[in-house]
Amino acid sequence: MVNRATKFSIQGLHVQYGGMYALRDLNLEIAANEIFTVIGPANSGKSTFLNSLNRLIDLEAHSRVSGMIRLDGIDIRAGLEVEALRRKVGIVFALPLPLPVSIYENVVYGLRMQGVRDAKSLDAAVERSLIESYLWEEVKDRLRTPAMNLSGGQQQRLCMARILAGQPDVLLFDEPTSGLDPISTARIEETMLVLKEKYTIVLVTNNVAQAARVGDRTAFFLMGEMIEVSETSTMFTTPADSRTSDYITGKFG
C-alpha cells in the first residue's frame, strides 16, 4: 500500500460500560485516504470502536473511556470541541435514517443547522454531495419529493450525501449494507471505493466478503481486543492468528 499520512492515531484505548470492558488496550493507526475495515463477531467491540472515533460513545450511559485518540495529531478530547469533531467525522448507520422531508432538505439539513442560508451555496452543496454519493442522476429531477419515497439503497446513499454536504474529513460506516439487497450493496461499495480518494473511510462490517472486496487494511476484533491488523489481502490469505483464520472461514461468529 502507498504510504499515506496518519489520520487517526489510537494509543492505549480502553472503553468500559460499568465494570465490563468493551475495548481493551487498543493501539492502532489509520491512514488518510484508506478504507480501513473492522471485522469480528457480535460483542467484539467493533461499534464501540467506531463510536469512540467521533465521541458518540459519550452518549452511552455508564461509559468510561481512557487512552488517547488523535485526529490529524490533535487529541479529540482535549483539543477539539465535540461539535467540531463530529463535523470532521461523520457516521452512516446500519439502517438508513432519512428525515421525513424532501430529498433536498435532507441534504441541506446539517448546513442549515450551521447557519448556511444562501440559496446558491445550498444548491451547490446538494448537487456536489449527491454526485459524490452516486445519487444525483437518479434524483436530480425530483429533489423536492419526499425522501421516504426512495428505495432502501437510495436512502442509504442519501444519508451519505447528507454527511458529505458538510465536507467532513472522515466517513464512518457501521454495517451500512446489512439491510440492503446485493445490487444496492454493490452500489454502496462502489461509492466507497471512489470516495476514498477524498476521504478516510472506516468500515465496520459483519460481512467478511465485503471487507475483502473494499478494504485496504483490515483489523480483526474479538471480545474487546484487536487480535491482528494487516493489509486486507494478507489477512484473507495468510492470517497471523488461528482465531482470525477460524472467523474468516466461518468456524465461529
Query: How far apart are the two ends of the chain, measured CA to CA in Å?
Result: 29
- One CATH from 3.20.20.370, 3.40.50.300, 3.40.50.150, 3.40.1010.20 for 6-248: 3.40.50.300
pLDDT of res. 252 = 83
The stretches of 20-102 forming alpha helices (DSSP H) are 46-53, 82-88
Give the cell for residue 239: 492470517
Task: Please report, for the chain, the start and end positions of each structural domain, with discontinuous segments joined by +.
Answer: 6-248
The Cβ of residue 1 has, within 10 Å, a number of other Cβ atoms equal to: 10
pLDDT of res. 3 = 62
Specify the pTM. 0.94
The Cβ of residue 138 has, within 10 Å, a number of other Cβ atoms equal to: 17
Q: What is the pLDDT of residues 187-227, one digit of tens each?
A: 999 999 999 999 999 999 999 999 999 999 999 999 999 99
Report how far residue 239's alpha carbon sits from residue 83's, in angstroms, rounded to the nearest whole number.
39
pLDDT of res. 1 = 46
For the chain, residues with pLDDT lower than 50 are 1
Separation of CA 247 from chain center: 22
Report how far residue 211's alpha carbon sits from residue 63's, in angstroms, rounded to the nearest whole number.
28
